[in-house]
Amino acid sequence: MTNVQKEMLFVLGEFFKKTDKQFSAAHLEVSVSKAEFIDVIKGVKVVSKQNRALYRNLESLQKSRYIVYNDRELSFSKKGYAEYDKIRTELMRLKQIEANMATQRLQFKRKIQARLK
């Protein structure tokens, strides 16, 4: 899976997560077309690509069977959702490492030589 595919899959997953949360009180299931999805993510400035490139990225995910597009309805396949979940957990782990590094004071066991740049 390429980095572009990972990014697109992550954006799609976060989009579904946000819309599901938004309509959870009404017990509704959200379905969206490719065009509407692209309009929304471009509207919130998540991606800076042109529409055609986004369509190609979605088609690439569809050919690789990460997403399913039936009856103008965009959704994850089991394989796609598993990959999205893997990407999300990896990012959470990396954010946790970053947070730990930011809050901890680095202590050295050996003398460190500092040089002027």
Q: How many residues does the chain have?
A: 117
Tell me the C-alpha distance between 35 and 64, whole Å.
20
Residue with the two structure tokens 């597009």: 69
How is residue 104 written in tokens? 């901890």
Q: Residues 31-81: pLDDT tens digits?
A: 789 999 999 999 988 888 899 999 999 999 999 999 999 888 998 999 999
Tell me the C-alpha distance between 58 and 38, whole Å.
10
What does the pLDDT read at residue 111?
80
Tell me the C-alpha distance between 115 and 62, whole Å.
52
Quick check: pTM over 0.85?
no
Residue 70 parent element (H or E): strand 67-70
What does the pLDDT read at residue 112?
77
Q: Residue 12's pLDDT band (boundaries 50, 70, 90)?
A: very high
Supply φ then ψ for residue 70, to 5 degrees: -125, 135
List domains and CATH numbers for the chain. Answer: 3-103 (1.10.10.10)
